[in-house]
Amino acid sequence: MNKDRSCIIVFAKAPIRGHVKTRLAKNMDESVVVCLYRNFVKDIIDKVTNAGHVLKIFYDPPGSEPLMREWLGNRHAFFLQNGSDLGQKMANAFSRVFENGIQQAVLMGTDFPDLPGKIISDAVSGLKTHDTVIGPTIDGGYYLIGFSSNSYLPLAFNDIAWGTSAVYQKTMDIFASSGTTVNQLPKWRDIDVYDDLKDLIQSLKHHPQKAQNTYSYLEQIGMIQK
């Protein structure tokens, strides 16, 4: 697949206290949570760029592009997330990249810094043979979704109760009723609450390379000890 005609869309929030990982912040200092989030995003971006994929960062909230560029540099393409809810924002992101000539696009978040880079590449490759790809999360959502320009289904983002355990199944039901062929990726878990972070820490103790930036920060603040 021509990587110039495919891209990875990463949805990322500006690293602002009270705006990122709010559920995690219920059990942790907000400044630590913001730093953790910064490292989550860095790990995901490293995996995308190291594999040679074209990266397009869709950010939130409005007006935060200068902060995003100060944080992540000017070598990436930045676009504002546009829509009244998460579904509209994702649908509009796909529409925008397809209108600009991209033929295959995979959209993902940043709540899983240890997601293997191979899964991201497999998602792009999966669009050779299927209309869509999707990566389910353990809690009933999904961490990744992708389409080709000629198989894009905006309906997949309509009338979804975002943030609930029904998101993945509802999306799969839409695919089934639309006759859409689906390449399902391995199930993964988000880091949403403190117990999720504890699971990540246990994993990174044995495999720090899975999320090197996050591992280094957790070690720096004493949450991982050699």
Count of beta carbons in the 10 Å neighbourhood of residue 74 = 8
pLDDT cut 70: percent of the chain above it: 98
What mean pLDDT comes out for the span 29-35? 97
CA–CA distance, 37 with 45 (Å, rounded to integer)? 12
Q: Mean pLDDT over all residues of the chain? A: 96
Tell me: the pLDDT tens digits for 169-202?
999 999 999 999 999 999 999 999 999 999 999 9
**3-state class (DSSP) for residue 26:** helix
Tell me: the pLDDT tens digits for 119-163?
999 999 999 999 999 999 999 999 999 999 999 999 999 999 999
pTM for this predicted structure:
0.96
Nearest Cα to 147, choosing from 166, 133, 161, 168? Answer: 133
State which amino acid sits at residue 13: K
Could you tell me the two tokens for 218?
Answer: 């957790």
pLDDT at 3 over 90: no
| All structural domains of the chain | 3-220 (3.90.550.10)
Category of 140 on φ-ψ map: left (φ > 0), alpha (ψ -120 to 50) or beta: left
Could you tell me the two tokens for 149?
Answer: 């320009």
- C-alpha 63 chain-centroid distance: 21
Could you tell me the two tokens for 205?
Answer: 């103790």
Model confidence at 4, in pLDDT bands (50, 70, 90)?
A: low
